[in-house]
Amino acid sequence: MVYLAGFRPYQLPYPLLSFWSRTAFNGPSLKLRVSTNYSGTGAPSAATWTDLNVPFPAMGSDIWTQTANINLAAFKGAKVYVAFVYASTTSAAARWTLDDISLTKSATPPVPTVLTDVNRLAFGYQAVSTSSTQPMNVSANDLTSDVTLTSSNASFTLSKDGTTFASTLTLTKAEVNATSKPVTVRFLPTTAQTTYSATLTVTTAGPPRQPP
């Protein structure tokens, strides 16, 4: 674990954490956790830690990537420690490097961020009038309203329960803010010898930003 020095967010209107990270080789992603009852000494496992919903660079990308403006306002009023948690397996161990870890203050909250765990889905060949599905996860931070996902092609539909599919799907603020929500994408072609593609549009109130 790597720790920031303890700080007191109540001194900041909106305390925002930013850092740069880089990863090479295959292995589990880092996790970012926060604790309000860690003493600063002794076993970290004796304290309570909360996972923060933040993006990290793609596995094996080996490119410096900034993760900016992580809102810590929910922890105001407490002394806080932040930990970057590394894990490996017997078959995979990524190399992670961190730099320029900073805490700044802002008079306003950060703009909403909506994230997906995939950039594209490839279904390959599918017979007409038969369907196949693939999963994706949607997460968000600092939402002020619900998130709407819209497929540009009716052959690609969306569902959050795996049963009811539509071209437009709404995820409530409670479902997706500061957490991850699984979404199922279904491909159902209707015409033979046709190349199908679609764009997924994500909208929410406020000026959304995409991660670097």
* 185-195 pLDDT per residue, tens: 999 999 998 99
Host domain of residue 180: 113-203
Asked whether residue 208 is domain-assigned, the answer is no
How many structural domains does the chain have?
Answer: 2
Q: Is the pLDDT of residue 35 over 70?
A: yes
Among 78, 106, 134, the domain-final residue is 106
Q: Is the pLDDT of residue 200 over 80?
A: yes
Q: Is the pLDDT of residue 54 over 60?
A: yes
With cut-offs at 50, 70 and 90, classify the pLDDT of residue 210: very low
Asked whether residue 10 is domain-assigned, the answer is yes
Among 81, 106, 131, the domain-final residue is 106
> Identity (one letter) of the amino acid at 76?
K
Q: Under a CB-based contact definition with an 8 Å cutoff, are residues 44 and 83 in contact?
A: yes
User: What does the pLDDT read at residue 209?
Assistant: 44
Asked whether residue 160 is domain-assigned, the answer is yes
C-alpha dihedral sign at 134, 137, 143, 145: positive
165 & 99 share domain: no
C-alpha distance from residue 46 to each of 35, 37, 43, 134 (Å):
11, 9, 6, 39
68 & 27 share domain: yes
The predicted model scores a pTM of 0.78
CATH value at residue 187: 2.60.40
Asked whether residue 209 is domain-assigned, the answer is no
- The two tokens of residue 17 are 């954490």
* pLDDT, tens only, 71-93: 998 888 768 899 999 999 999 99
C-alpha distance from residue 199 to each of 32, 89, 106, 154, 194 (Å):
31, 36, 34, 11, 17
User: What does the pLDDT read at residue 211?
Assistant: 39
Segments of the chain assigned E as strands: 2-3, 14-24, 31-35, 50-51, 65-71, 81-85, 95-106, 113-116, 132-141, 147-151, 156-159, 168-171, 180-187, 200-203
Q: Under a CB-based contact definition with an 8 Å cutoff, are residues 16 and 70 in contact?
A: yes
* pLDDT, tens only, 103-155: 888 889 999 999 898 888 999 999 999 999 999 999 999 999 999 999 999 99
Q: Is the pLDDT of residue 212 over 50?
A: no
Average pLDDT for 58-70: 95
Asked whether residue 210 is domain-assigned, the answer is no
Average pLDDT for 4-29: 81
Among 87, 106, 125, the domain-final residue is 106
Q: pLDDT over 70 for what percent of the chain?
A: 91
